[in-house]
Amino acid sequence: MLAPPDQDSRPTMPDDAAARQDLPTPAEPVLAEAGDPGALRDTGDAARDRRDWGAAEEAYRAYLNIEAGDAALWVQLGHALKEQGKLAEAEAAYSQAARLAPGEADTQLQLGHLHKLAGRRPQALAAYAEALRLAPLRAAHDEMVALDDAAMAALLLQAWSARKPADCSYLEITDLFVYLHDHRTVSGIQRVQLGLVAHVLALPVAARERTAFIIRQGERPELLLLEEARVAALVQHASGAEVERATLDRLLEAAKRGATTAQLRAGQCLLVLGAFWVGGSVAPAYAAAKAAGASIGCYIYDLIPATHPEFCDAGLVVDFTRALAEGLAFFDFLLAISEYTAAEMRRWLAAQGLPPIPVEAVPLAHDFRLPGQVVAPAPARWPSAIAALQGRDYVLCVCTIEARKNHAYLFQLWRQLMQQGIEPPELVLVGRFGWRVADLYAQLKATGFLGGRIRVLHDLADAELATLYRHCRFTIFPSFVEGWGLPVGESLTHGKACIASNTSSLPEVGGDLVDYIDPLNLHTGLAAVRRYLEDPAALAEREAEIRTHFQPRGWAEVGEAFFAAARRLQPTTPRPVPVPLLPQGAVFRPATLVARDVAPGDANQPLRLVLASGWSAPDIAGAGSDSAAGAAVLRFGTNAAPGAPLLVFLRLMVRDAAPGVVLRVVPTLGAACQVEPARPRPGLAGPSRSLDLRVTAAADSAGVVELSLEVLTAPGARKARLSARFYLQRLAHVATDNLLARQELTEALLLESEDQRRAG
């Protein structure tokens, strides 16, 4: 299993009486001083979990009578006392924990909470500041901000960011968190992330200092920096033999709660390890990283939603293609999980007319086990999830059940075997049902899963899956297209013969040790399966070849190759972020950025980048201004001549605009425009209303138009609470001297407005 990062040895208990004079005196417990310390601790934890604070206090005191040097339990005692309102005793317990473990930031955080509860603001601020000096705790930062010391909180965080080496690589694992929030076991892309993260955590301390773990937070520009120890705990549990949902949720929440804002700077690199299309648009966060001078690289798993949309959910095709176009606006280099995927990426870039980006293949591991992970041998009695297969003959197929994986081929293959008078072994499919398999599922149900010869399992733990691999007759994997093909490598790792498709990346995984079939030709699969069913000697020969010649690539090798390639490809100067072109007369509607029933648009023109900064995630109402930002900025390219006068047409919906609130639009080149959205009725907030604005602007020498939108208070008006928020619903522009285009655009916008009025 993974070990947590190296830590200093446990501090010893101070001997001097002065250090103990303010400790809460342990009570004479009913639990007996000769009790088992572990049992006392467990008793206290159980009482804490049911919020029986008196019982928790009693058990913790009894434990500390025996193990007085346990700083963590002094903290727990402090919690129990605080919850009972015994603030002085709680403070003494926390203080003792701080003396025993002076470098523990969480203890200072708890002291801060106690001082805040007691109304001691200066002491609370001092404790929170000390916590931030010890570790970049987001909670301590937020508490200082809440106590009106945001400036010091920001300085302390900046000091932490400055401690990251100039060549630090920030590893983004956003989609791992998203996935684990919904699933207990990992597969595919998430397993790769666990492998790479586990490789980093197994490195020496000096090497680990050059890496950090981050996640995006929706479509916010800030990236959250995760504490390494919390990531280690999460990875250890997620890759364990038994993954508990409650524990997983607690570890995910703890990791996010302990995060703080990452501060990237020039020379550093953001490496996207997972599915970049998950978790909302990458544009705000990646734009901020680029603005700070960091470069960005991404690990590409496949392009299947873009190159083979017939195998994917229609919504995924739109989301993936749109996100790929956005991501490629920021990525300085790409790593790919196979030579096949790298070649596909280069072909796709050329087909889209995009400039070439450096792409290098870093093939994945063959073994699903993570660094340090040991899968126990199968027990005498198999776990209940797979117990029905113990002692039976079966063929194994491990992958999500979806059209691309070609399970329909296996259904027909097993039916053909039966029609030819052959009684085949049971076919065990391990995976969840996914896209475009409704017909297959109907066929399985109608035939009673081929009379019980096909069995479907899912959500198996690693140990259970390993047991199935060890005891199967052989494996089969007839997928149409893959980015890599981990089931083939897993089969070989367990010494099992594999029958797999001869397509895409699969020959890279299996080499000469796999029997290849045509996934479009059932006869090739039938011949391969019959050979191994009817000729045990041939199967034994293939297994002997695997034992002799197979050299599995592990995650340590993948990790070394991954970071070496990233260092080679990381540019000295990151490439600039392109500005999307919005031709004259074209209308940009932010709502289309989230629509699932529209084409994703031109990969050359990721229109999400028009919302340059200060916008929240678009929705069907449009793109809303971010209340935390000072201004919302729009930026786009034009095919009008630089410096030529332009008319920019904006439709905005304004909400909660009180009297005296002014909406101001300021182009970088051109005349500012402002309007008071609220109706001039004193004391009444204006209703939500649409505003059509026309702004005079011009493009700069690079052909870029930029406008800043902000909410102000009108001169002379009583200072209004600036709660107003505006939503951009459409944006268009045209050169003032392009009379025909002006007329056509004006008519189109008027007709659209009339249609909307009638529909509303």
| Span 503-525, pLDDT tens digits | 999 999 999 999 999 999 999 99
Q: Taking the alpha carbons of 347, 349, 355, 358 in that order, is the dihedral positive or negative?
A: negative
Asked whether the predicted pLDDT for residue 11 surpasses 50, the reply is no
pLDDT score at 718: 61
| Span 652-673, pLDDT tens digits | 998 877 777 888 999 999 999 9
Task: Please give the span between the terminal C-alpha atoms of the chain, in angstroms, as a whole number.
Answer: 60
Among all chains, which residue has been given the structure tokens 């008319």? Answer: 647
pLDDT score at 257: 85
Residue 6 lies in a domain: no
**pTM surpassing 0.85?**
no
Q: Higher confidence at residue 153 or residue 361?
A: 361
pLDDT score at 306: 94
Lowest mean pLDDT segment, chosen from 53-62, 153-162, 674-683? 674-683
Are residue 667 and residue 737 in the same domain, yes or no?
Answer: yes
Question: Are residues 593 and 322 in contact, defined by beta-carbon separation less than 8 angstroms?
Answer: yes
| Span 702-752, pLDDT tens digits | 999 999 999 887 776 665 555 678 999 999 999 999 988 888 888 888 877
Are residue 92 and residue 173 in the same domain, yes or no?
Answer: no
Distance (Å, rounded) from C-alpha 63 to C-alpha 31? Answer: 9
pLDDT score at 154: 78
Report the amino acid identity of residue 477.
F
Q: How confident is the model at residue 371 (pLDDT cuts 50, 70, 90)?
A: low
Are residue 143 and residue 204 in the same domain, yes or no?
Answer: no
Are residue 284 and residue 400 in the same domain, yes or no?
Answer: no
Average pLDDT of every residue of the chain: 88
CATH number (domain holding residue 449): 3.40.50.2000
| Span 630-658, pLDDT tens digits | 799 999 999 999 999 999 999 999 887 77
CATH number (domain holding residue 723): 2.60.120
Asked whether the predicted pLDDT for residue 478 surpasses 60, the reply is yes
The closest alpha carbon to 276, from 300, 245, 244, 240, belongs to 300
Asked whether the predicted pLDDT for residue 3 surpasses 60, the reply is no
Lowest mean pLDDT segment, chosen from 266-280, 364-378, 493-507, 567-581? 364-378
Are residue 501 and residue 479 in the same domain, yes or no?
Answer: yes
Pairing of strands 498-501, 515-517: parallel
CATH number (domain holding residue 66): 1.25.40.10
pLDDT score at 25: 43
pLDDT score at 13: 32
User: What is the arithmetic mean of pLDDT over 422-428?
Assistant: 97
Domain final position from 344, 361, 378? 361
Residue 646 host element (H or E):
strand 645-655
Number of domains forming the structure of the chain: 4
The backbone torsions φ and ψ at residue 679, rounded to the nearest 5 degrees and listed phi first, read -70, 140
Are residue 536 and residue 660 in the same domain, yes or no?
Answer: no
pLDDT score at 27: 40
Are residue 37 and residue 138 in the same domain, yes or no?
Answer: yes
Residue 742 lies in a domain: yes
Are residue 215 and residue 337 in the same domain, yes or no?
Answer: yes
Are residue 102 and residue 203 in the same domain, yes or no?
Answer: no
Are residue 134 and residue 260 in the same domain, yes or no?
Answer: no
Residue 567 lies in a domain: no
Are residue 145 and residue 178 in the same domain, yes or no?
Answer: no
Are residue 599 and residue 735 in the same domain, yes or no?
Answer: yes
Asked whether the predicted pLDDT for residue 682 surpasses 50, the reply is no
Asked whether the predicted pLDDT for residue 310 surpasses 70, the reply is yes
How many Cβ atoms from other residues are within 10 Å of residue 623's Cβ? Answer: 27
Residue 7 lies in a domain: no
Range of the domain at 45: 17-163
